Chains A and B, each alone.
Chain A
């Protein structure tokens, strides 16, 4: 089975721009969660989508948004980028409630 695939792997953007990251979950997994990892804050939950619906949202500003498609692929968008948005963005997929979450390789975003 193919793992979780995230694209692109690396991105460099300028302050004020917006960015879209993509995640394809493991086949059969309908839950996709997004996390931000920074050296200072560690791994923090952004949001979770299940069957095309946002189920949970972490404590991030509205500039961070996402969506999920009928094939369970998900995208997250960050608008009006700030320097502090530089981080590793990780997508995790799960089969159903209370089961393991498997992470993709991540997208390393650098905002300059």
Chain B
């Protein structure tokens, strides 16, 4: 079983819709959860971090964390074509806080 799993996609949504990206993780001791956006040919860019159960909103982005279910999600409201990218879920190691394990990413395409 992979430590961090994401729905691999690709995921296509029309412009203005809500894009929902999901991630599950295997290690219950993980404390820090991150979403990165990576455009083709570029490096990952941190867009959200979440540490506590519940929702965290930042502009059009909402991260949701449920530690009991070992589940993290990212919602993108009012999706724009510029949101088209690969979204990577990252989870820290309980034994090495700055060691991140990444999912394989979900490729999102927002159709104009």
Contact = CB atoms under 8 A, between A and B. Distances in A.
A104 interface: yes
B99 interface: yes
B43 A55 contact: no
A94 interface: yes
Interface in A67-101: 88, 90, 92, 94, 97-101
B45 interface: yes
B96 interface: yes
A50 B88 CA distance: 24
Give the interface size class of chain A: 20 to 34
Contact of B88 (A43, A56, A58): A43
Contact of B98 (A33, A88, A103): A33
Give the interface size class of chain B: 20 to 34
A103 B99 contact: no
A100 B34 contact: yes
A31 B98 contact: yes
Contacts of A98: 31-32, 51, 92, 97-98
Contact of A101 (B42, B100, B105): B100
A103 B101 contact: no
Given A31-B98, A45-B99, A56-B98, A101 B104 contact: no
B100 A33 contact: yes
Nearest to B42: A105
A48 B98 contact: yes
Contact of B43 (A44, A97, A99, A106): A106
Contact of B102 (A42, A99, A106): A42
Contacts of A101: 34, 46, 90, 98, 100
Contact of A103 (B45, B49, B96): B45
B16 interface: no
Contacts of A58: 99
B44 interface: yes
9 contacts: A35-B100, A42-B105, A44-B102, A56-B93, A90-B44, A98-B32, A102-B46, A105-B42, A105-B43
